[in-house]
Structures are given as structure tokens and as C-alpha cells.
Amino acid sequence: MLEQLDRSSHDRGVIRRPRRSRIVGLLGLTLLIGALVAPATTSAATTAEAGCAGHWPAAVQGKPTLLVAGARAGDYIWHDAYGWHLRVTHATSSRLVFSGRITASAPMRVTPFRLESGDWVALSADRLTITYRFVNYGHLDGLDFTTACARRVTFGGAMAGTKLPITRIWIGRHNRHPLQNPFSVLRVL
């Protein structure tokens, strides 16, 4: 940084930095400290959704508390700071097939979770539809996905080729059931 001689203080030999440089420096330092000291929170927005209008409803937030490997058979769905999550499991080690479809009003990115032989996840070319099939033996299978500011996400699931009853779908940390299958979640604006 350049230093400049303050004319009014010249006789006293005081050297002062330009006022604008000090203000810019303090502003930069304040922003840096704010970023380092700001508390880390688990918010409802994902990194990919940070600039989106609105948020997903509180009812879908947090992992269902009933979800453990070998829990009641069905779909377990939730949203958190990392995006959306779907897991399936059932109480025995016998073979049980779960399948379904997820659609969104904006493109999605999907990552499979603990897939085994015979399991698959597919994302459509327009990235608006995820289809899946999990051959489950009582462990956890599933997928994680994010949306690009979607206003709506729709879930539909089946178990052993039959549409899941709503009592076999758990949503969010409070283990809520949807009113129907398939069901949609709308972003709150």
C-alpha cells in the first residue's frame, strides 16, 4: 500500500495512509472476519439452491427418526442442507423390490446410495425425472438428489410391484405420511 504524507502534519513528521484505503481495508477485514466467525447452521437450502426463492416446507426437513436398516418396509424421504434423500428397507433379509419415480419442475442431479447387484437409478435426458429399482435384503438402499430451484417435486413409490400405501411412506424427522401416493412437495415462497 502506498503511503502519503499528510501536508497538515508535515511539520510534525506524521505519515498517514489515504482515508479511502483505510476504509476499503477495514471493510475487507470485516467481511473476512464475518465469514470466518459466522456460525455454521443446517439450513433448508442446499448449496445448489442457495439462490432460489423460497424454501422446502418444515414437514420434509430432517431424516425420519424411524429409519434404520431393517425397519418397517417402505420409502423414507427427507430434505436437509445437502438436498433430498430417499431410502428403502424392510424387516427381513428376504428379497423385496422397491421401485418408483421422482419428477421435478427443474433439472435434478442424482447420486445412488449403497446400490447392490440388480439395483439401478436412472435420470432422464432432460434431468426432470428419476426412476429407480432397488432389490432390498433388509439393509438400506437409496438415492440422494438436488434440484435446480424446482418449485415442485413429486414422489411415487411401489413395493413388490404394488403402489405403496401411504402408511409405508415416512417423510421428514416427524415421520409424517403423505395424503396420497404419488404426492408432491411444493416450495414455500
pLDDT of residue 14: 40
Domain boundaries, the chain: 4-37, 49-186
pLDDT of residue 136: 87
pLDDT of residue 8: 42
Amino acid at 97: V
What is the rounded CA–CA span in Å between residue 88 and residue 179?
19
* Nearest in space to 150 (alpha carbons), one of 188, 110, 113: 188
Q: Which grid cell sits at 138? A: 433388509
pLDDT of residue 49: 60
What does pLDDT average to in each consecutive run of 10 residues of the chain (189 residues)?
39 45 44 33 44 89 90 93 94 90 96 86 96 90 92 96 95 96 95
pLDDT of residue 69: 86
CB of 131 closer than 8 Å to CB of 104: no
Alpha-carbon dihedral 55, 183, 148, 121, rounded to 10 degrees = 140
CB < 8 Å & 24+ apart, contacts of 1-5: 1/25
Radius of gyration of the chain from Cα atoms?
A: 26
Q: Which grid cell sits at 55? A: 424454501
Is the pTM of the predicted complex or chain greater than 0.85? no
pLDDT of residue 98: 93
Classify residue 28 as left (phi > 0), alpha (psi -120 to 50) or beta. alpha
pLDDT of residue 153: 97
Cα distances (Å, whole numbers) of residue 96 to 71, 137, 158:
13, 6, 11
CB of 182 closer than 8 Å to CB of 156: yes
